[in-house]
Amino acid sequence: MSQPFVAILMGSDSDLPKVEAAIDVLKKLNVHCEVRVHSAHRTPDATHSYVKDADARGCAAFICCAGMAAHLAGVVASLTIKPVIGVPIDAGPLDGMDALLSTAQMPGGIPVATVAIGKAGAKNAGYLACQIIALGDADLADRLKADRRANAENVLARNAALQEKLGA
């Protein structure tokens, strides 16, 4: 069985500045990922072929990032029973509300775990994918716990710095 990996798909390379937040998390936690531009609307055949192939090669979860009428996550979810995480991208005049609804409002039986719009959503998509893989990977679970501790320590340190600045 090949090494589990996360497939990150985006509808356009114009999404990359937001999608990088997911890539950064996976790199930090040492989880292998493939990153591809595949559009549900502009390249439907290539999207189908890639998802089927990635699924067969051991993809553990798909992260699908798209803006506007964002059907990428839903289409990918229709092709696999691996977990699909949808990231609505804030592209276009509706600032991602269009993508949020297009990604989240899936018909029953074809779930897409939809995270927040934009960069924060992409970051959480990276963490969620790692948490899914960590169900069967104790070392990754330890790295996730250490990351949470580091986050908490960082917030506490910033609070201490603020108190000092305020003379409290």
Which spans of this chain sit near ligand RP5 (rule: CB under 6 A)? 11-12, 14-15, 39, 66-68, 89, 91
- In angstroms, give the least distance from the CB of 28 to ligand RP5: 24
- In angstroms, give the least distance from the CB of 27 to ligand RP5: 22
- In angstroms, give the least distance from the CB of 157 to ligand RP5: 36
- Give the C-alpha separation, 157 to 146, whole Å: 16
3-class state of residue 73 by DSSP: helix
Task: CB nearer to ligand RP5: give 19 or 134.
Answer: 19
Task: CB nearer to ligand RP5: give 15 or 86.
Answer: 15
**Tokens encoding 117:** 């719009």
Task: CB nearer to ligand RP5: give 89 or 106.
Answer: 89
Residue 161: CB atoms within 10 Å: 10
Helix, strand, coil percent content, the chain, rounded in steps of 5: 55, 15, 30
